[in-house]
Structures are given as structure tokens and as C-alpha cells.
Amino acid sequence: MDYIDPHIHMVSRTTDDYETLARMGCIAMSEPAFWAGFDRGSVESFRDYFRQLTEFEPKRAAQFGIQHYTWLCINAKEAENVSLSREVIAMIPEFLSASNVLGIGEIGLNKNTKNESTIFLEHVDLAVRYGQQILIHTPHLEDKYQGTKMIVDMLVHDTRVDRSRVLVDHVEEHTIQEVLDQGFWAGMTLYPVTKCTPARAADMIERFGPERLMANSAGDWGPSKPTAIPDLIMELKRRGHSRQLIRKIVCENPCEFFSQSKNFKAPSALS
């Protein structure tokens, strides 16, 4: 089945992975800017990283017939460095006209600190001023519940934010309800150990229904599996769910959400 991975970090993946994803049905993907596995030292590092995301990765993906989109920001881990963060935020507009940029992301919180919150708010302001969509990273493990509530609080507080243009990622059983109730889109991240398994993601689809809900693999530097969405498709099929329901989660929802960005072109397989 054709699918879209709305959150996958291909800079940490080999070209062989692109080929495998294409063979498994991946037709489009979006790659939010994130941590590089180490803290970067200067704004120029980020400039090169944004060139990689807007110039190099789309070409690598295109070799396998996959559309590659991206989101720009300085991630929450590095946002603890406020002065560097502000330099990066000031530089982002240079890249907003690149043809594969969908918006600002993945912004969010990591350890839910004051500095992270300050930089989160400045990213939201940037997105609003430039009419950009937003992709959100919520913290992991014991920080997720608190951090997700703080993020929702900040977004709801800013009346300029159009919630239908915001995707809140890494939701789990204790955060999904509030995110959906507040009118945001929600993404479940399928991860071998610390996040959500395909079976638990299928449970959330059964409990909350398919509206404004999608799934992603993250596929990052940690122990992650870039082919996790096909695993979810198999789990949903095994449970007897309709092709229509599965397609809504893995194809139509990402497509509908991304279509709010002028740079997104629906893959021809979907039109």
C-alpha cells in the first residue's frame, strides 16, 4: 500500500534505506529539522544543515521516486542555548522560499525548561509572521505529559495560531485526547522501545477514530525503524480494518494536512 511518512529524519539514514522505503510503498515523506546527535557550535552549522534538508535530501529521495519535504527550526535540545537559537531563528527566513519547505518544526520542549519555552514561543511567532504551518515535538518518557500540556497551553494562548495548521507529534495514550480535543492534528511515533508500538498505535486509532490522526517512524539516530509504518499497516490489516481506514491514516490525512502549505504537491498516486 502507498503511504506517506510525515516525520522521518533521513539525514541519519543510508541511501539503501531510501530504496527499502520506496519498495515498501513510501511515496512522500517530511523531515523536520532536529538534533544531530551532538550540539552544534554555530549558526553556520545550521545553515549547512538547512541546505542539506532543502537541496541534498530531496535529490536523494527523488532517485527512488519519493517526494521529500522539510521543516526548519532549532530543536528543543539545542534551544537551551538562547543566543544561538535566536541567530538560527533570524536565519530561517532565508530558506522559507525553498520549494520543499512545509513550515517550522519540529519545535517543542525536551526537559520543559524556561529557555526551551522562550525559544518555542519565538518559533511560533516566526511561523505566524511568515504564515507557516507548525510541526511540534513533544518530550519523551516522564516529561511528555507535562511538556505536552505546556505546549498546548502556549499554543492556545496565542490567538493568532490556526490550530488546524499545527501537527503535534509523539502523542501517546495520556496526551492524545487533549491534543485532538483542542483542534490540533496528532501524530503517533512508532518506536521500538521508548515511544509507541504499532499495536498501541492501532489501539489509539480504534479508540479515537481516524480524524486528524497520523503515524510516523521518526527514523532518527536512536534505535528506530524507518519501515515502522508498513508494520502499522500490517497490524491494522491483521485486525481486519478496512483499506479505506488504513489509507486515511497513512495517506489521506498527511496529504490533507500538508496541503495547507503552498509548497506541497499531492503525489500523483493519490490524485
Partner 1 sequence: MSTDPKPAARRADKILAEEFFLARSKILDLAATLDRLERGQGSVDELQQRLLLQQGMEILLDDQSDKARRVQLLMSRPYDPDWRKNYGLH
Q: Which residues bind partner 1 (CB under 8 A)?
A: 112, 114, 117-118, 121, 141-146, 149-150, 153, 172-174, 200, 203, 205-211, 239-242, 244-245, 248
192-196 long-range CB contacts below 8 Å, 24 or more apart? 192/223, 192/224, 192/225, 193/223, 194/140, 194/141, 194/222, 195/140, 195/170, 196/170, 196/172
> How many Å apart are CA 47 and CA 133, to the nearest integer?
21
Shortest distance (Å) from residue 137 CB to Zn ion? 6
Task: Output 34 or 246, the one with its CB closest to Zn ion.
Answer: 34
Shortest distance (Å) from residue 11 CB to partner 1? 30
Shortest distance (Å) from residue 169 CB to Zn ion? 7
> How many Å apart are CA 178 and CA 190, to the nearest integer?
20
DSSP state letters, 2-32? -EEESSB-GGGS-HHHHHHHHHTTEEEEEEE
Task: Output 10 or 228, the one with its CB closest to partner 1.
Answer: 228
Give φ, ψ of 214 to 5 degrees: -140, 175
State the binding partner of 67 from Zn ion, partner 1, none, CB within 5 to 8 A by kind: none
Task: Output 34 or 46, the one with its CB closest to Zn ion.
Answer: 34
Task: Output 51 or 239, the one with its CB closest to partner 1.
Answer: 239
> How many Å apart are CA 7 and CA 253, to the nearest integer?
13
State the binding partner of 29 from partner 1, Zn ion, none, CB within 5 to 8 A by kind: none
State the binding partner of 216 from partner 1, Zn ion, none, CB within 5 to 8 A by kind: none
Q: Is the peptide bond before 106 cis (omega within 30 degrees of 0)?
A: yes
Shortest distance (Å) from residue 105 CB to Zn ion? 9
Task: Output 2 or 178, the one with its CB closest to partner 1.
Answer: 178
Task: Output 23 or 111, the one with its CB closest to partner 1.
Answer: 111
Contacts with Zn ion by CB under 5 A lie at 34
State the binding partner of 240 from Zn ion, partner 1, none, CB within 5 to 8 A by kind: partner 1
Contact (Cβ atoms closer than 8 angstroms) between residue 103 and residue 71? yes
> How many Å apart are CA 28 and CA 251, to the nearest integer?
9
State the binding partner of 200 from Zn ion, partner 1, none, CB within 5 to 8 A by kind: partner 1
Shortest distance (Å) from residue 143 CB to partner 1? 6
DSSP state letters, 135-157? EEEPP-GGGHHHHHHHHHHHHHH
> How many Å apart are CA 100 and CA 271, to the nearest integer?
19
Shortest distance (Å) from residue 208 CB to partner 1? 8
State the binding partner of 34 from Zn ion, partner 1, none, CB within 5 to 8 A by kind: Zn ion
